[in-house]
Each structure stands twice: as structure tokens, then as C-alpha cells.
Structure 1
Amino acid sequence: MSTRPATSSEIDERPTRTMRDVFVETTTARFDTDDRLAVVLADISADSFAPAAARWPDRVLNVGIREQAMVGVAGGLALTGLRPVVHSYTPFLVERPFEQLKISIGHQGVGAVLVSIGASFDASSEGRTHQAPGDVALLDTLPGWRVHVPGHPDEVPALLRDAFDSDGPVYVRLSGQTNSTPMPVGAGFHQVRGGSGSDRGVVLAVGPVLDQVIEGVGDLDVTVLYTPTVRPFDAVGLAEAVGRARHADVMLVEPYLAGTSAHRVGSALEAVPHRVRSLGVSRDAELRAYGTPEEHRAAHGLDATSIGLAAREFFRP
């Protein structure tokens, strides 16, 4: 599917409703029709879910600042047949209670829906404690997780419905950084821009980095693919896109730890000699200045200018 890329002026126009707003609205509305649904909080967003807690006090549980207990409670609810939605900032949802995710969810063979906010550096003003760019890579060490990384608030409802309707473990990674236009959220990679047939390769943009990728690659003769769902990884879709290009070169642009999906790209193209360049949050830089999200994005080379420079170097004839 081909979709018109955003213009420079559109990239500066961000949605007024945040992904977090849409998450609360979609989840609250779901209570009316889904008796399985339960929400488990550790103070974060408790005020936003207060109306739901007043109506369904037995299915909206706030355990206080006890993230390990939050996940443990979710595992217990799942064992009773409920579909728990567990929510907090990324490091408090994935890193701090990781053992509970491994045991209370994974080892017990039950499902839950994890919904994070803060992404890699949205909460940069709060310091390193509120940053977790390694979250998707960490969940990759556990089997069976489905991972959604929406790039626009309008993509969130469909991804949440997919998560609510399933039974396995799902992670939905929300961000304050968004693209200007929503994209398709169906299974697989979606072609945003096709190459000429003699194009230099494929750029795979994940979630909220798409606008920066489109602006950065400019008039380079490359195919651009987009996905808000990184697990399961669409190995067939990537292999087909690479097969249509003149060169089997892939630039992977992810809004979290650089190279998180590089092994998936390698597996998808194991029968094809290829090159991979991974862009994302640096594995080598520990940023100690708080800064703004935009400053962090630039420091990690995820702004349009840096992506463009990297693409021109990588895809150079």
C-alpha cells in the first residue's frame, strides 16, 4: 500500500490527543462490552482511570508504587480468566518487574497486555530513571510476546483491540513523539514509498520515526516500509521488498535501542548476501543531561538530518 508522505510543514503539526489519552478512552469504553477486562496500575494514570474505577471497582486495581506486585497481581488475574491490562512508564513496566514478567506471566503460561508510556526519552525531564530504550530488546529474551509500536494516536485503538481480543502476552509501546499522519496497522510491513526497481535498498521505519525517515531520505532512490508491529516480525514482507530492489541493503530505523531487530532482519535474509545499518538509541552513549525529547532524538541520530546523512552514506553508489 502506498501512502503520501508528510510534507515538512505537516511534520510540525502534531495531534492534540496523545496516545496516552486514546489508551485511557479506548480501554474505559471497552469495559462496557468486555467482562474479561481488568486494569492494574501502580499509581501512574490512576486519576485518568478514576471514572472507570468508580464504575468497576473490582476490575480497576491500583496497587500503589509497587511495580513488581502490579505484574504479580496481573498474573493472578489472568489465571482466573481475566484479561489484565498493566500500565506504567516504560522502565517501571518492563525493567523493574522483569522477573515477574518472566515468571508470573511467561512461566505460568498466561497472557496480559502491557501498555507503557514514556517510550525511550519522552520523559527526559525526569532523568534517566524514566528512560528505558532497551525495553523491546529485553522482552525479546522471552518467547511469545507480540509488540506494537504505534506512530500516531489514531493507530492506537485498533492495536489495543487486537491486544484485548487475543490471549497471549502483548506489549503496546506508546510515545509522545508521533508522525503527522496515521498509517495502516494491519499485519506486516506497509510500503510508504516504492523504489524505481533499480533502487539502492530498503529503509524500514518503526512507529514514530517515519516522518523523520521520509524527510531524511528525501529523493534517495530507496523503498520505505513502515510498521507499528515489530513482533511478530514480517520476515516474508521484508524479503519480498528486498527482492524487488536492486541491492539487498536494509537500513533499520527503530525508536528504541539501536539494532534491536537486526537479528530478525538477518534471519529474514539469511539466504541473501546483504548489508544492514541499524539506527536507534545509541548503545554507546549515556546521556546525563536531562534535555528535551527533541535534543535526545538528535543526540541519538534519530532526527531527519542525521537519518539523511546516514542513509546517503549507507546507500551511496
Structure 2
Amino acid sequence: MRTTFINTLTEEAKSNDRIFIITPDLGFSVLERFRDLFPNRFLNVGIAEQNAVGVAAGLALSGKIVYVYSIVPFVTMRCFEQVRVDVAYMNTNVRLIGVGAGLSYGPAGATHHSIEDIAVMRNLPNMTVCCPGDPLEVREIVKQSVDYQGPMYIRLGKNGEPTIHKETQQLTIGKAIQVSEGKDLIIITTSNMLEEGNQIADSLKEQGKTVTLVSMHTIKPFDSETVLRLINKGIPMVTLEEHNIIGGLGSAVAEVIAESGQAVRFKRIGIKDVFCHDVGSQQYLRGKLINAYQEITDFMV
């Protein structure tokens, strides 16, 4: 996802001299091409996230389109006051680019995990929250972000994620994408759990169960219309996210269900409001904290 982000933004910057990147001393081996092509539009402010966001807001108020690039906890929580006041309150065209969604930085420990960021960002007025699930979604969201009005938070994984969608797939910020149609279960995923949701759907298909798989690449504005349509299918529904089950995708879907006045079997699958005290790879920690396949098969019994 990181490579797709920078390649897409670099191409956009060739024809739009208002595009800037600011980094608080991160992004090495990722941002160099942009830096070399546009040295006057690339700022490394050092390990000073609050300053990075303040400078970004100032540039945005001067007519620039500014992308602040860092690891998720550093670009959302370390500088939260500046994000809240300088970016969200001022409704500036700043794009916060967070890499390392969920447990991507597994061995680095809880300081580098991002399991609260969606909840924190979606609670801010004016803030658009995008959580792409594969490189195609990253590409299309970055392209649309250039002309998008208002602040955005774009949550990225790391690198090497497979492309789930066909190359011709259309994407609109704020509208979910249905990946497959099934009659036994609905799985709504966001961010880096799209791949796992797709794998689970394939595994269930081998057992004779078909899945409606949906990628909710935008958490805010939320596509309530799609959720209401899925409720009307009358089959069990789960959400799948590498994030605390409080405040993220699961909460957003639960809010729609609660206000719909309709009954549906529903389960939130994610991290159960705990910090991670284990050390290991992303896949190892995901198995310890989420274990999505087992939760889904138990739910379907």
C-alpha cells in the first residue's frame, strides 16, 4: 500500500504544484522519489509531529494540498490536539497518511500498534476517514483525495498486500464495494482485513457456504445505505477489522442496525478492547487477538 500511495501521489504532483508532503522524519525508502522530483514541496520537520500538523494546516490555508506521512499512532494520537484544532476545526485540506494499520508493526510493540485510530479520527467533525483494503483502493482514494474538500485520514497497511479487486473496479469515497454475493453470511471488512475476509469467504465456499463480502473502505462518511440493504437480506452479518471493536467499523455498523428498527444476527470481530502484550509478527498477533476464521465458524453454528 505504501508504494501505491507514493507512486500515485507522485504522478498527481507532476500536474499539480499545490501538492506537498510533510514527514516527521519517517518514510525512508518510500518518499525519496517524490523528494527528488519535487524538493521544494517536500518537508522533513524532524521528530516533531505536532509541528508537522501545524505546518501542514498553515500550508493548506495558503491553498496547498498537504499530505502528512507517518506511522499511524504518531500521525493521529501524538499530535491529536493539533489535528483536532488546526486540521478538523479549521476544515483544512490536510491529508493524514498513517502507515502500519492495526498490528502491522507487530514486533515493535503496543507503542507502534494502531488499534484505536479509526475511533479517534471518526469522532472528529469534518474529518473523512478512509481505510483502503488493497492497492487498488489506495490508488483510487489517493487520486480522489487531491480534489476532495476538507481534512482526511487515510489508513494504510504496509507493503506487499495483494490486489483483491479487478483492475476495472470503480470506487467512490463514502460508498462501499461489494466483492462477492452469497446467501449464508455477510462479511463487512475494512482496511487490511479485506484480504483475510476474502480468504475466509473462499474457505467457506469449499464447505458449501456462500458469502456476501463487502469492503467498507470509507468509515466516514459511512455508507449506511449499503448496510441497510444488507440487513434486508435477512442473513447473519459480521464485521471484520484489525482494530478495537469499540469505535471502529463494528460500532459504525451496529449504530445503523440499532437505528434501523430491524433485527439481524450480528457480531463484531476485532480486537476485544485490550492492549497487546505479546511480541511477534502481524499474523501471529492477529491469531492471538482476533482469530477471525474460528470466530466466524462458531458464529455460524
TM score, norm. by length of structure 1: 0.83
Q: Which residue of 1 aligns with 2:70?
A: 88
CA distance in 2, matches of 1:152, 1:65: 29
| Equivalent in 92, 96, 102 of residue 110 of structure 1 | 92
Q: Which residue of 2 aligns with 1:282?
A: 272
User: Given the superposition, is the C-alpha separation of residues 25 and 192 from structure 1 closer, same or farther in structure 2, using an over 3 Å criterion?
Assistant: closer
User: Given the superposition, is the C-alpha separation of residues 307 and 56 from structure 1 closer, same or farther in structure 2, using an over 3 Å criterion?
Assistant: closer
Residues 1:211 and 2:215 are matched in the alignment? no
| Equivalent in 240, 262, 279 of residue 272 of structure 1 | 262
CA contact (8 A) 2:49 2:79 kept: yes
User: Given the superposition, is the C-alpha separation of residues 178 and 189 from structure 1 closer, same or farther in structure 2, using an over 3 Å criterion?
Assistant: farther
| Aligned ranges 1:274-313 → 2 under 5 Å | 274-284=264-274, 286-301=275-290, 306-313=291-298
SS at 2:278 equivalent: coil
Compute the RMSD of aligned alpha carbons: 2.1
CA distance in 2, matches of 1:177, 1:58: 27
User: Given the superposition, is the C-alpha separation of residues 214 and 41 from structure 1 closer, same or farther in structure 2, using an over 3 Å criterion?
Assistant: closer
CA distance in 2, matches of 1:116, 1:233: 20
CA distance in 1, matches of 2:231, 2:161: 25
| Equivalent in 103, 110, 118 of residue 136 of structure 1 | 118
SS at 1:175 equivalent: coil
SS at 2:39 equivalent: coil
The C-alpha deviation readout for 1:258-300, integer Å capped at 9, x for no partner, is 241333223323221234311112313x322321111111112
The C-alpha deviation readout for 1:67-90, integer Å capped at 9, x for no partner, is 110001001111101111000001
| Aligned ranges 1:235-274 → 2 under 5 Å | 235-243=224-232, 245-247=233-235, 249-259=236-246, 260-269=248-257, 270=259, 271-274=261-264
Q: Which residue of 1 aligns with 2:44?
A: 62
How many residue pairs get matched? 288
Residue 26 of structure 1 aligns to which amino acid in structure 2? T
| Aligned ranges 1:14-53 → 2 under 5 Å | 19-46=1-28, 48-53=30-35
CA contact (8 A) 1:149 1:228 kept: yes
The Cα shift of 1:178 comes to 6.2
Q: Which blocks of at least 5 consecutive residues in structure 2 are unaligned?
A: none
Q: Which residue of 2 aligns with 1:190?
A: 177
The C-alpha deviation readout for 1:227-250, integer Å capped at 9, x for no partner, is 32222211111111221x233x32
Q: Which blocks of at least 5 consecutive residues in structure 1 are unaligned?
A: 1-18
The Cα shift of 1:139 comes to 0.5
The C-alpha deviation readout for 1:150-196, integer Å capped at 9, x for no partner, is 22223322110111121211111111376533324513222223233
SS at 2:14 equivalent: coil
Q: Bigger shift: 51-60 or 271-280? A: 51-60
Q: Bigger shift: 147-156 or 47-56? A: 47-56
User: Given the superposition, is the C-alpha separation of residues 76 and 216 from structure 1 closer, same or farther in structure 2, using an over 3 Å criterion?
Assistant: same
TM score, norm. by length of structure 2: 0.87
CA contact (8 A) 1:195 1:223 kept: yes
CA contact (8 A) 1:151 1:208 kept: yes
User: Given the superposition, is the C-alpha separation of residues 65 and 52 from structure 1 closer, same or farther in structure 2, using an over 3 Å criterion?
Assistant: same
The Cα shift of 1:142 comes to 0.3
CA contact (8 A) 2:6 2:34 kept: no
User: Given the superposition, is the C-alpha separation of residues 146 and 56 from structure 1 closer, same or farther in structure 2, using an over 3 Å criterion?
Assistant: same
| Equivalent in 122, 128, 142 of residue 146 of structure 1 | 128
CA distance in 1, matches of 2:147, 2:106: 33
